[in-house]
Structure 1
Amino acid sequence: MTVALPSVSEDGAKPSVLLLHMAFGGQFEFLGKWLAANGWDVTLAYSADVVERFEDGIRVMGFHPRRTTIEKNNFRYPLDYAACNALGAAELFYRLRHQRGYIPDVVIAHVGWGVGLCVKQIWPETRYIAYHEWYYTDRDWRGGGRAERPSTLSSVIVDRMRNLPIIAEFDSADANWCPTDYQASRFPPSLRPLLQVVSDGVDCQTHRPDPDAHLDFDWLSLPPGTPVVTYATRGMEPLRGFPQFLRAVEVLQRRRDDLHAVVLADDKVCYGDKLPADTSWRLRMIDELALDHGRLHIFPMQARPEYQRLLQASWAHIYFSEPFVTSWSLSEAMATGCYVVGSDTPTVTELLEDFETGAVVDMDDANEVADAVEWALDHRTEARAIGAKARAFILEKHDSRVVFARKEEMMRVLIGNSQGGR
């Protein structure tokens, strides 16, 4: 299928930006909407055969996916996958330039999938910002490069292949952004100075406290005043501490008969090794644990307004993670004023300070987790005060209104005109 090209504004007064991702929007959706509302010509392109459209002031289009024929378990897969994505994206760039005369002032691309590798080859005059989310390594560079975990020869080679497309971005990017200090710390010392840590930003107007919130949906309704512990992330997997969460719920259910636990997550593994098709971590944990399913409510991720309401009604929100990319759900819960119980891992503790902006626990100790939750149930006023401090921290450091304005200024500096484009 050939994707029809959109008309591109020739209004020279408008700065233009092209946002590139593999999936629709990703980290750039809300930034794109903010820029469009503030006078930018914004195009968002991702890997899909779609008819271009305008949505919230953004021109949305797809580039034709190119499929690698190499199996995922082959160590060559990451390189071929990136090359195929680079080809699909570069074909779009070429058509935009030579059929429409479109030369964006700025391109921002999510690094690792290959979509930004040829930006400068087609548009050498364009300023390119590479968004770096993760560097695959078993080394702790801050600890002198010592090994963090045992590695097999196969895993070492696969990680090296994953990193090659990431490293290749540094030779053409005019700026390299990374969302957290911890994620930036994963990069080797030779590359770390090239990274700027710039938050993704949190919509603190949307994610805000409501002390009167309770759960009254068609999928779940609980009486006002019901103690609720919540868990919400993309999937159900060990990397995000889902088994540990349910082990703590088992302890809590033995201790209290008034507590309800609510999970919003899809029953799949998003990060980490996949399970056989006939099982899942939800099914495994249900088999392992003695849970009261009348007080455990597990649902797929819901629409954002209902997810927000769940956070507002939470008495204690659980966010666990192994050292990896930090989920937006942590900062969104903090912006909502949740009392967050988080794992003692650097992914989490960059944002969460024990007994200041949340509770930091050993997620593998179900009793310690249960103690932290139970404290919030028994000390409601104090827990809400901690949640208020969490929101204040997010407002100061991560409010999207401040973050997006900073990013816009950085982009304008890159294109050499702080007054409005070329």
Structure 2
Amino acid sequence: MTRILLVHQNMPGQYREMMDALRRTGEHDIVFLTQRREAEAPQGVRKVLYRPHHRPAEDAYGLARVWAEAAGAGYGAALTCQALRDLGWRPDVILGHTGWGELLFLKHVWPDVPILGFFEYYYLNHGGPVNFDPEDPSDATAPYLLQARNAVPNANIHAVDRGTCPTLWQRDTFPEMFHPRLYVAHDGIRTDRLRPDPDVALELGRAGRVTRRDEIFTYMARNMERTRGFHVFMRALPDILAARPEARVLIVGGNEASYGRASSAEGGFRAEMEAEVGSRVDWSRVHFLGRLPYGDYQRVIQISRCHIYLTMPFVLSWSLLESMAMEATVVAADVAPVREAVRHGETGLLVDFFRPDLVARQVVEVLENPGRFAHLGPAARRHVVEHYDFETVCLPQHLAEINALLPEDRHVRV
């Protein structure tokens, strides 16, 4: 029986599918180290909570704050792992996210245990979301703050035996000296579970029931914010609704700030953009659904005639690939990480992030002539199945890299 330690402050994070695949065999001793108290451990997984050893004060020095948080998380994780060690438990391999520091000191606990770290993003002053949108310029401190944030991945590359990045674009945000230690393989999409459904229906409460017969277009992000192009979507919305009087839009996501600065407006960025487009929108056809259970989110995409995915150059969202797997006709921002997954006119439609008018025009064309674009959804699904499917593509890649760190008699098998 192979003993596996999974580490992510927000269980399960990027290990959702990996954890499920490992536990289903019944042949592995799996411990998940996390801060997330409310997370439920599935059968076959033992959840172990750790507490950060230190949290910086609210007025902590800005250039040191992220490192202080990471060091506190790392030491807290190490102390909890020491307790596991003292009880006689030793993993054969450790898989964990590097972003919050939990992996930093684990070699002091188990010097000979291989660690495979998930490297998500290296903070860039140019080439990522910072300094991308002229409406949201960075201030003079940004280069210093970003370099200070990168102390965490810079330390982690020395704390792990191997690293993984989900996309080539994300790998290339890291300095070239990292690249020999990193391999590229996505977390994986369960295309066997994510499929189109012509008979799908969704209840919208007082707004009624919608099906594929309704003219529905959609937008989704974890939170409605600039990094995910919410302002561009909202500026395109009046023209789309005016051109398509029967169309309705379903908007999925929260109203907080995951990336970048929060809006100063009361009611957040959603309220700020509602005020800007104001009287130009027929709000009776706009449905903000908030954050949804996963099954309802799937139904939203399956109903959609056109799904809008807007992002600055940043970490590629699972939702894009999931939407493609469900054969959505996607209108997406023409930025480098999206171009890695979407080919214009073949698997989706790419538009200039800075041109809400072009976003609106493209969405209207799809809604007016769905047959003209009907080939895009099936082609998008084929592309995701070929390159991002968890069970047939991504899982074998990850297992090969994990097992290269282990003696044959401890290999991880599913």
The normalised TM-score by structure 1 is 0.90
* Between 285-294 and 69-78, the greater mean CA deviation after superposition: 69-78
Partner of 1:87 in structure 2?
75
Q: CA deviation at 1:220?
A: 5.1
Q: Which residue of 2 aligns with 1:347?
A: 337
Q: In structure 1, what is the equivalent of residue 396 of structure 2? A: 405
Q: Of residues 214, 227, 231 in structure 2, which corresponds to 1:239?
A: 227
Instruction: Tell me the residue number matched to 1:43.
Output: 31
Asked if structure 2 preserves the Cα contact closer than 8 Å seen for 1:49 and 1:64, the reply is no
Aligned partner of 1:260 among 242, 248, 262: 248
Structure 1 segments unaligned to the other structure (5+ residues): 1-13, 142-146
After superposition, the C-alpha distances for 1:102-136 in whole angstroms (9 at most, x for unaligned) are 11111111112110001211111211001000101
Task: For residues 238-287 of structure 1, give each alpha carbon's deviation from its aligned partner in whole angstroms, at most 9, with x where no partner exists.
Answer: 11001111111111111120110110111111111022372311111111
Whether the 8 Å CA contact 1:355–1:386 is kept in 2: the answer is: yes
Cα distance in 1 between the residues matched to 2:55 and 2:373: 51
Q: Conserved in 2, the CA contact under 8 Å of 1:316 and 1:376?
A: yes
Q: For 1:339 and 1:54, how far apart are their aligned partners in 2? A: 35
- How many residues align? The count is 402
Q: Does the 8 Å contact 2:249/2:285 carry over to 1?
A: yes
Report the CA distance shift for 1:49/1:179 in structure 2 as closer, same or farther (over 3 A).
same
Contact 1:260 1:295 in 2 (8 A): yes
For 2:15 and 2:200, locate their aligned partners in 1 and report how far apart those are by CA, in whole Å. 30
Tell me the distance in 2 between the aligned counterparts of 1:280 and 1:419.
50
1:65: how far off? 3.0
Choose which of 59, 75, 78 in structure 1 pairs with 2:46. Answer: 59
AA aligned to 2:222 is R
Corresponding position: 1:358 with 2:348: yes
TM-score by length of 2: 0.91
Amino acid at match of 1:274: A
**How do residues 294-309 of structure 1 correspond to structure 2 at under 5 angstroms?**
294-309=284-299
Name the CA distance, whole Å, in 1 between partners of 2:37 and 2:142: 33
1:326 — aligned with what? 316
Residue 177 of structure 1 corresponds to: 164
For 1:166, give the aligned amino acid.
P
Letter aligned with residue 163 of structure 2: N
The answer as to whether partners of 2:127 and 2:313 remain within 8 angstroms in 1 is no
Q: How far did residue 192 of structure 1 move?
A: 2.3
One-letter amino acid matched to 1:388? P
Contact 1:130 1:176 in 2 (8 A): yes
Counterpart for residue 362 of structure 2: 372
Distance 2:412 2:185 in 1: 22
CA distance in 2, matches of 1:415, 1:277: 53
CA distance in structure 1 between the partners assigned to 2:309 and 2:83 by the alignment: 44
In 1, the alpha carbon distance for the partners of 2:412 and 2:96 equals 19
Q: How much has 1:49 moved relative to structure 2?
A: 5.5
Aligned residues of 1:112 and 1:163 also touching (Cα < 8 A): no
> Any conservation in 1 of the 2:399–2:412 contact (CA below 8 Å)?
no
Aligned sequence identity (%): 29
- Report if the CA contact (8 A) 2:262-2:269 is conserved: no
1:416 aligns with 2:404: no
Determine if contact 1:53/1:61 at 8 Å carries over to the other structure. Answer: no
* Distance in 1 (alpha carbons) for counterparts of 2:109 and 2:175: 29
> Following TM superposition, by how much is the alpha carbon of 1:421 offset from its aligned partner in structure 2, in angstroms?
5.6
**23-32 or 177-186, which deviates more:** 23-32
Going from structure 1 to structure 2, the CA distance change for 1:280 and 1:161 (only over 3 Å counts) comes to same
Q: Does 1:313 align with 2:303?
A: yes
**More moved, 152-161 vs 119-128:** 152-161
| SS of alignment partner, residue 232 of structure 1 | strand
In structure 1, how many angstroms separate the alpha carbons of the residues matched to 2:210 and 2:63? 53
Q: Does 1:119 align with 2:110?
A: no
Q: Is 2:2–2:410's contact at 8 Å kept on the other side of the alignment?
A: no
